[in-house]
Structure 1
């Protein structure tokens, strides 16, 4: 196929009548003004393949309509959501920095209130208030089930799963907080920390933040790249998760266009122009900034292996980052990869894309390379929806936790599109169970598992939509630390 093969949805151009048609009747995408495609005939032929695809096409129209409705709502909520986010985060920091509500009242009376200041090491995001744990666990049982990790050593025998999950969680925070966290872990000299705000050509839509650290200042064994995930109060981040647009990456197959934009693609309709091997632009782009930093670190640390991680949107970026390295034949970096570990990661490409990555890994001797962890009915790993047009599929090994205590390896988690009615009762039952268990967990597992008021409120709100409630990074860390797994 041509390098310019693509299908792009423009939710900002969708009208009420368009949504009504998509949800109620079978519409031709080629007639929709909000669709841009390099091959209109491809879209038309998809709708005229015969009776065998009639039902599948109807489902696709409903899925697309539902997705666009969500994106339209998020577009309207962009500014209000940011304002709400600032108010909530400022209030939470005001309470935590002043010792809680009663202490805050006392400080107000005595004129000694501590005012939160953004971008300082004491200012936490909403995610940080759901789970403020920073202490690392030592080697855990989980390593026995990830053969690729047995050859990896970290300072002080720190659990790699624990380290990557905490790194993915801390990536939501400001740079000062991240530096303090890495210093607390006592793994590297904090001055070696790299934290970039990387903007793509689509800078009005997307911003990307990642950071890199090593387990030692000298002769490191491990280099960790952690991508920031979907920000709770950023509507455009959530829109990227739900977007069904794709671009064909040559023989690699289709990749999620929204995630490619977040990583730094410069042309949304031609992947060769969008991903030049040698970028000469003035703007710092996520992929190129991280690639260049890794090259420098690999020269300094000749024995180090690379681990890439992220939660939510960060997991998607971690999953597709190696694909661009493969496109550019960056053997120096690829040969030093150990694994990719993602948490609550959405789908990033079609079946061809996944098969290409898996075949490349197998040919490179990295069969045990790519793992994605999914907790219960987390909504995000089940988007973008697996519809017949975009055909997004997961790849690699899924470590699925049906609770904090039970996990198993599988190809794909159950209820893949979050629509199956047979899982409805289980979703709400388990959401209630998690809430009740969380209130008692500190009594059975220790103070490290005591939950904040913000986290308990999050669980209560999660009863309305268990899929969102299960996306809590705290649950992923609990699952890693408490769970058992069957092969």
Structure 2
């Protein structure tokens, strides 16, 4: 009797698991979540943490394979003083320009998370009444060497491959910079077909900004994971919606149901509020471990506690170092190097 009950339980759990499809075609305000694309972009978000610039620029690092095979970097920018890093390149399998921003490095993430508890909305976003954002995140993209390097590389890629899609990604603080980049490309540079997918991104602005952002960059997905602490920061106060930080849509929350051998992962596509109470806000954000792993991919720097870069003489022909010590690695490709399909991707990848 007990065996039959257990068997029924197993069958029931299997039916639930089967009904929880991994390829979601839920569309609202232009956002479509695709599991396969997410597993590709998370590898780019992981690879941008690599500190060996030779391996990264030549795309030979241990993280630079599998689903990102064939990717070619056009521009790699390192802001040494602020420990920021980003790259721009072209992915043949996506028929797209991919931009990735690095998140917070090493054990400094502990102090960074502690600081986020007390951060206030402290700067107005240009051109939008009542929109307030986090000054540090805004400045990390807009007021460093990253922005001009990224924009220059995007322009170069467009000249060679036409108006192909642009996909922007990043993890943690890198996700915050990715969001500002996607908005910048759309509003200030008139780029079409810009999509953003971030992993473990913190809140970056208030409700007015979230509304503004979702209007201009509707093809955006914020992936959150289990009890990841960072998406809960800076804090959201329900009773002060206009004066507090507020996520923009659309969230996809990864979490496990069941236990032991009966455990399976659910990828819940959340509502269009940005603060769906049935998604990551339904749990306490307390885990750094959940912040550092998405789709089974480890995100974060190889070295803890400090920032460093490694670069050998083979990159001399591609590198420039400015007066502040910031590193720019650039490469030009002829149009024949990558046979890009400048129309929509045959697989129809969408975020």
SS at match of 1:294: helix
* Residue-pair matches, total: 253
- 1:19-42: CA deviation from partner (whole Å, max 9, x where unpaired): xxxxxxxxxxxxxxxxxxxxxxxx
1:413 deviates by 5.1
- Find the partner of 2:205 among 319, 338, 349: 349
Rounded to whole Å, the distance in 2 between the matches of 1:467 and 1:232 is: 16
Relative to structure 1, the CA distance from residue 320 to residue 264 in structure 2 (aligned partners, 3 Å threshold; closer, same or farther) is: closer
Q: Paired residue for 1:485?
A: none
Query: Does 1:470 pair with 2:350?
Result: no
Relative to structure 1, the CA distance from residue 237 to residue 194 in structure 2 (aligned partners, 3 Å threshold; closer, same or farther) is: farther
- 1:259-282: CA deviation from partner (whole Å, max 9, x where unpaired): 0121143xxxxxxxxxxxxxxxxx
Query: Map of 1:128-207 to 2, 5 A cutoff?
Result: 141-142=22-23, 144-145=25-26, 159-174=36-51, 175-178=53-56, 179-181=59-61, 182=64, 185-188=68-71, 190=72, 192-198=73-79, 203=81, 206-207=82-83
SS at match of 2:228: coil
1:475 deviates by 4.9
Higher strand share: 2
The gaps in structure 2 that reach 5 residues or longer are 1-20, 257-263, 299-351
1:390 deviates by 4.9
Q: Is the Cα–Cα contact under 8 Å of residues 169 and 473 in structure 1 kept in the other structure?
A: no
1:163 deviates by 1.3
Relative to structure 1, the CA distance from residue 402 to residue 170 in structure 2 (aligned partners, 3 Å threshold; closer, same or farther) is: same
Q: Is the Cα–Cα contact under 8 Å of residues 223 and 253 in structure 2 kept in the other structure?
A: yes
SS at match of 1:392: coil
Query: Map of 1:54-69 to 2, 5 A cutoff?
Result: none
TM-score by length of 2: 0.62
Query: Map of 1:85-484 to 2, 5 A cutoff?
Result: 141-142=22-23, 144-145=25-26, 159-174=36-51, 175-178=53-56, 179-181=59-61, 182=64, 185-188=68-71, 190=72, 192-198=73-79, 203=81, 206-216=82-92, 221-234=95-108, 237-238=112-113, 241-242=116-117, 243-252=119-128, 253-265=131-143, 285-326=145-186, 329-331=188-190, 334-337=191-194, 339-361=195-217, 367=218, 369-387=219-237, 388=240, 390-403=243-256, 405-411=265-271, 412=275, 414=277, 423=283, 466-475=286-295, 477=297
Q: Is the Cα–Cα contact under 8 Å of residues 240 and 258 in structure 1 kept in the other structure?
A: no
SS at match of 1:349: coil
Q: Is the Cα–Cα contact under 8 Å of residues 351 and 394 in structure 1 kept in the other structure?
A: yes
Relative to structure 1, the CA distance from residue 186 to residue 376 in structure 2 (aligned partners, 3 Å threshold; closer, same or farther) is: closer
Query: Map of 1:1-20 to 2, 5 A cutoff?
Result: none
Q: Is the Cα–Cα contact under 8 Å of residues 74 and 153 in structure 2 kept in the other structure?
A: no
Relative to structure 1, the CA distance from residue 197 to residue 160 in structure 2 (aligned partners, 3 Å threshold; closer, same or farther) is: same
Q: Is the Cα–Cα contact under 8 Å of residues 245 and 258 in structure 1 kept in the other structure?
A: no
Q: Is the Cα–Cα contact under 8 Å of residues 198 and 209 in structure 1 kept in the other structure?
A: yes
1:416 deviates by 8.8
- 1:39-72: CA deviation from partner (whole Å, max 9, x where unpaired): xxxxxxxxxxxxxxxxxxxxxxxxxxxxxxxxxx
1:408 deviates by 1.3
Rounded to whole Å, the distance in 2 between the matches of 1:381 and 1:165 is: 16
Q: Is the Cα–Cα contact under 8 Å of residues 307 and 341 in structure 1 kept in the other structure?
A: yes
Higher helix share: 1
The gaps in structure 1 that reach 5 residues or longer are 1-139, 153-157, 266-283, 362-366, 428-465, 479-487
